[in-house]
Chains A and B, each alone.
Chain A
Amino acid sequence: EIVMTQSPATLSVSPGERATLSCRASQNVRYNLAWYQQKPGQAPRLLIYGASTRATGIPARFSGSGSGTEFTLTISSLQSEDFAVYHCQQYNNWPPEYTFGQGTKLEIK
Chain B
Amino acid sequence: EVQLVESGGGLIQPGGSLRLSCAASGFTFNSFDMNWVRQAPGQGLQWVAYISPGASTVYYADSVKGRFTISRDNAKSSLYLQMNSLTAEDTAVYYCASSSRRDFDFWGQGTLVTVSS
B101 touches A96 (CB 8 A): no
CB of B29 within 8 A of chain A?
A: no
CB distance from B79 to the nearest CB of A (A): 15
Task: Report the minimal beta-carbon distance from B24 to chain A, rounded to whole angstroms.
Answer: 14
Of all chain A residues, the one with the shortest Cβ separation from B107 is A43
Q: Is there contact, CB below 8 Å, between A99 and B47?
A: yes
Chain A facing B: main interface SS: loop
Task: Mark B15-51 against chain A: 1 for CB-CB distance below 8 A, else 0.
Answer: 0000000000000000000010000000111110010
Q: Are B45 and A100 touching (Cβ within 8 A)?
A: yes
Residue contact B102 to A91, C-beta cutoff 8 Å: yes
- Whether B102 lies near A44 (C-beta < 8 A) is no
Which residues in B have their C-beta under 8 angstroms from that of A102? Answer: 43-44
Q: In angstroms, how far is the closest chain A Cβ from the Cβ of B4?
A: 9
- How many chain A residues sit at the interface, stated as a range, is 20 to 34
Q: In the complex, what residues of A have CB within 8 A of residue B44's CB?
A: 87, 100-103
- Closest Cβ of chain B to A64, distance in Å, is 12
Return the chain B residue nearest A56 by Cβ. Answer: B105
With a CB–CB cut-off of 8 A, which chain B residues contact A74? none
13 interchain pairs (CB within 8 A)? Answer: A32-B102, A36-B45, A36-B104, A42-B109, A43-B95, A43-B108, A43-B109, A44-B45, A44-B95, A44-B107, A46-B105, A91-B103, A103-B45
B-side residues, CB < 8 A to A, are 35, 43-47, 50, 59, 95, 101-110
**Which A residues form the contact surface with B (CB < 8 A)?**
32, 34, 36, 42-46, 49-50, 55, 87, 89, 91, 94-96, 98-103
